[in-house]
Chain A
């Protein structure tokens, strides 16, 4: 791979030198020809995604010289509009599609910036013409180049504002989502390529490329005039539609996590039901606990952040999550118990962070978890097992959150859950509780409190 890459880079640098020479002499068409040759290296099939990325970065760097020079030379040109209209056509004479489209994007971006150019048409054209590249890796990098180069060009004016000839934020959303849909399609298609014995290798490569797809969502989130209504009515449904329909776990898990990461807490709070409904439709192989956990963690941080308005009172957050978590767990027959508990842990996290003064939510979760374990006939759980690790985390959570064991005592179901652990597990929890009391200097003034604590640490006492 290193050898292939070196050979390609050598050719790139040679042609780049010629390209720059032609640009210095304002021989633009000749410069385009040299650019097309250096871009031809991106037609390669010999490089793995990681090495293709290195080649891509180098080539994009060289190509930026072309864009910069073209932009700079505009100022001295009598009729830049006519010139770039011609350039936009001339670069399409290139016989191979990869160099042609990279050049089209490079020239198109400069053309876009000229006063009077058909901006809306250019943006739309660039997105549509990229359909010609159906090869997953080459297509992903090409469209990534597109979304990177057009970052500053996307119209970000409110709907109804006609001041931008490129359109308004609705047009920008349409462009980005179209690009996103095509990229996700190519990314998922990678999964089906190649022999089945190379499945793991393919999946690893796919994970390396996920950021290329995610960049589209980042770009959407950066639109300043993206309103909640647009997010709820257009952006989220389109993204979730792709995530659910692709029926591919790596893509689904990444897209859901990406949505959680890039969009604002207010958007998430307003669209919880839609998002969680989609979670229930995801592939069984998706680690749904990661998705739900990520969302809950995010909202929990939001709820407790300094200066945050907190969770609006009209949003019964716990009830929503609890209901959907139940649906998700119910719809996945083969869900491992540790994943069930991980989801419950996330709910406890939500309850303790968002509703610190009301332990009834946490209590509900502990109660239902104990029931689930009973139904699954799980008892004597070892603390270092998969289930055990999750249980330990869950049990410790309210204790760490409150740092006041007296408050934790109101979670009556906690002791039932502790009893599902084996001897060692119960001892560890007992020690944890006692250490927490000592570290926090919690004073036990009531007999009931003492009895409560003794119940929690009874294994140690016995």
Chain B
């Protein structure tokens, strides 16, 4: 129970490295 998480959506590479908008 102490390690429960929801599945995360994958972030695209473009999103990951884009400068903050």
Establish whether A and B are touching in the complex (CB under 8 Å). yes
Chain A residues with a Cβ under 8 A of chain B = 85, 88-89, 92, 118, 121-122, 124-125, 128-129, 131, 181, 185, 188-189, 192-193, 241-242, 245-248
Contact A89 B2 (CB under 8 A): yes
CA distance A118 to B16 in the complex (A): 30
CA distance A89 to B2 in the complex (A): 6
Contact B5 A245 (CB under 8 A): no
Nearest CB in chain A to that of B12: its residue: A245
Provided the pairs A241-B13, A247-B17 are in contact, do residues A85 and B8 lie with their beta carbons within 8 angstroms? no
Within 8 A of A (CB), among B1-21: 1-3, 5, 8, 13-14, 16-17, 19-20
Nearest CB in chain B to that of A88: its residue: B2
Pick the 5 closest A-B CB pairs, nearest first.
A245-B13, A125-B3, A192-B19, A89-B2, A246-B17
CA distance A92 to B16 in the complex (A): 27
Contacts A/B (CB < 8 Å), 21 sampled:
A89-B1, A89-B2, A92-B2, A118-B3, A121-B3, A122-B3, A124-B3, A125-B3, A125-B5, A128-B8, A129-B5, A181-B16, A192-B19, A193-B20, A245-B13, A245-B14, A245-B17, A246-B16, A246-B17, A247-B17, A248-B17
CA distance A34 to B17 in the complex (A): 37
Provided the pairs A128-B8, A131-B8 are in contact, do residues A188 and B17 lie with their beta carbons within 8 angstroms? yes
CA distance A16 to B3 in the complex (A): 28
Tell me the minimal C-beta distance from A85 to chain B in angstroms.
7
Give the secondary structure class of A's interface: helix
Tell me the minimal C-beta distance from B17 to chain A in angstroms.
5
Chain B residues with a Cβ under 8 A of chain A = 1-3, 5, 8, 13-14, 16-17, 19-20
Q: Which of A85, A188, A242 contacts B2 (CB 8 A)?
A: A85
Please, which residues of chain B bring their CB within 8 A of the CB of A131? 8
Contact A128 B5 (CB under 8 A): yes
CA distance A122 to B2 in the complex (A): 9
Tell me the minimal C-beta distance from A151 to chain B in angstroms.
21
Contact A189 B20 (CB under 8 A): yes
Please, which residues of chain A bring their CB within 8 A of the CB of B5? 125, 128-129
CA distance A188 to B13 in the complex (A): 12
Please, which residues of chain A bring their CB within 8 A of the CB of B13? 241-242, 245
Contact B8 A185 (CB under 8 A): no
Please, which residues of chain A bring their CB within 8 A of the CB of B8? 128, 131
Nearest CB in chain B to that of A89: its residue: B2
CA distance A185 to B15 in the complex (A): 10
* Among B3, B8, B19, residue most surrounded by chain A Cβ atoms (within 10 Å): B3
Nearest CB in chain B to that of A90: its residue: B2
Tell me the minimal C-beta distance from A106 to chain B in angstroms.
15
Provided the pairs A128-B8, A131-B8 are in contact, do residues A185 and B3 lie with their beta carbons within 8 angstroms? no
Tell me the minimal C-beta distance from A91 to chain B in angstroms.
9
Please, which residues of chain A bring their CB within 8 A of the CB of B14? 245
CA distance A248 to B5 in the complex (A): 32
Please, which residues of chain B bring their CB within 8 A of the CB of A248? 17
Tell me the minimal C-beta distance from A202 to chain B in angstroms.
13
Contact A245 B3 (CB under 8 A): no
CA distance A247 to B15 in the complex (A): 12
CA distance A181 to B13 in the complex (A): 10
Contact A185 B16 (CB under 8 A): yes
CA distance A128 to B19 in the complex (A): 23
CA distance A189 to B19 in the complex (A): 7
Nearest CB in chain B to that of A129: its residue: B5
Q: Which of B1, B2, B3, B20 contacts A192 (CB 8 A)?
A: B20
* Among B1, B14, B19, B20, residue most surrounded by chain A Cβ atoms (within 10 Å): B19
Nearest CB in chain B to that of A120: its residue: B3
Please, which residues of chain A bring their CB within 8 A of the CB of B16? 181, 185, 245-246
Please, which residues of chain B bring their CB within 8 A of the CB of A121? 3
